Structure formats: C-alpha cells, structure tokens
Amino acid sequence: MSQRKSINGRPSGTDGSDFSYRMVVDSRYQRVAEGKSRLCKLILIQGFIQLLVAVVVFLPTVEWGTLDRLSVSSSVIFFLSLLIGELGRKRSRAILLKLYLFGSSVAVIISVVSVLQSKKSLEVIKDLSKWATTKPEVSQIGVVSLGLVVQIFAFTVATSLIQNMAPPKRSS
C-alpha cells in the first residue's frame, strides 16, 4: 500500500522512462468523439431548422385552411429521423445512424420537391421582383435551402463517424 502512495504523485518504481511501453489511445477513437460532438451540433441545428419549417408550413394554414401534405410528411419524417440519429449518436450504433441518414435525406428530398411543386414558389424563383410581395414562399424557399445545406454537412459528418466506429480491417 505504501508503494502506491507517493509524495510527488508518481507510483514508486517508475522513473518516467517506461513511457514507450504504455498504451496509446488509437486516433480513431478521438475521431469518433469529435464526430459525435459535431453530429450533436448538427442535429440541434437541424431540429431548429425543422421548427422553422413547421412554423412556415403551418402559419399559412391558419389563414387559408389548406395544408401541404408533402411538407407535413417531410417534417414528421425529419423529426423521427432526428430522434433516431440522436439515439444512434449517444449509443454509438451505426445502424441507427444509417437509418438517420436515410430518413433525413428522404425528408430533405421531399421538402425540395414540395417547394418545387408549389406554383407560387416557382413564380418567385423565376421572377425576382415578386420576392417582396410573397413572404411565405420566400421564407419557405430559404428555410428548405438552409436545411439542404445543413443536411449535406450532417451527411458527411455521420458517414465519417460510421466509418470511424467500424472496427479496423486486418491486413493479411
């Protein structure tokens, strides 16, 4: 017991020259930790963007009473995939992260298709002078575009994380 307690904090019997025999943490684990941190931030940003999308989608329904089913289905799919992605990130489950990538990518594609199918949005895209008069369409185009850019970053970070979480391959 007296050997373990040392005055200067170093265990007795070591003079510091045994550093080359000590275990070193593989850089892959550091990359996984960094990837998890980045993915957490991106999932939070995506959640905030989806809240904005929900506001943009549901506010016009209060006035006119029509609901865009594609936008609603996209939001539902996206929120579910964000929950799955957060579980996969916390528990380091590659299958959940892959499911998150698939679900969020499908939701973003549905959002883009929804914007492109809207006649008002196409008119705004074609004629820039109408941007000031059609604020809901402009905000929807902006939020969906921002979501697409963040999805691209999230896709690359999650793909890198999945690759780093996989066990290293043996070379024969």
Kindly report, residue by residue over 102-113, the tens digit of the pLDDT.
999 999 999 999
Stronger pLDDT, 132 or 115, i.e. the higher one? 115
Kindly report the pTM of this predicted structure.
0.78
Residues 40-54 have a mean pLDDT of 94
Residue 58, amino acid = F
User: Span 140-144, mean pLDDT?
Assistant: 86
Share of the chain above pLDDT 90, in %: 47
Amino acid (one-letter) located at 23:
M
End-to-end Cα distance, the chain: 45
The pLDDT of 88-104, averaged and rounded, is 95
Does the structure show a pLDDT above 60 at 62? yes
Residue 143 has pLDDT above 70, yes or no: yes
Round to whole Å and give the CA distance between 156 and 48.
19
Q: Is the pLDDT of residue 44 over 90?
A: yes
Please tell me the number of Cα atoms within 13 Å of 68 on its side-chain side: 24
Residue 127, amino acid: D
Contact in structure between 103 and 81 (CB atoms under 8 Å): yes
Query: With 60 as the cut, is the pLDDT of residue 145 above it?
Result: yes
Contacts of range 37-43, beta carbons closer than 8 Å, 24 or more positions apart? 38/157, 39/85, 39/89, 39/154, 39/157, 39/158, 39/161, 40/86, 40/89, 42/150, 42/153, 42/154, 42/157, 43/82, 43/85, 43/86, 43/89, 43/154
Residue 116 and residue 74 in contact, taking contact as beta carbons nearer than 8 Å? no
Q: How many angstroms separate the CA atoms of 92 and 96, rounded?
A: 8
pLDDT bin (cut points 50, 70, 90) of residue 46 is very high
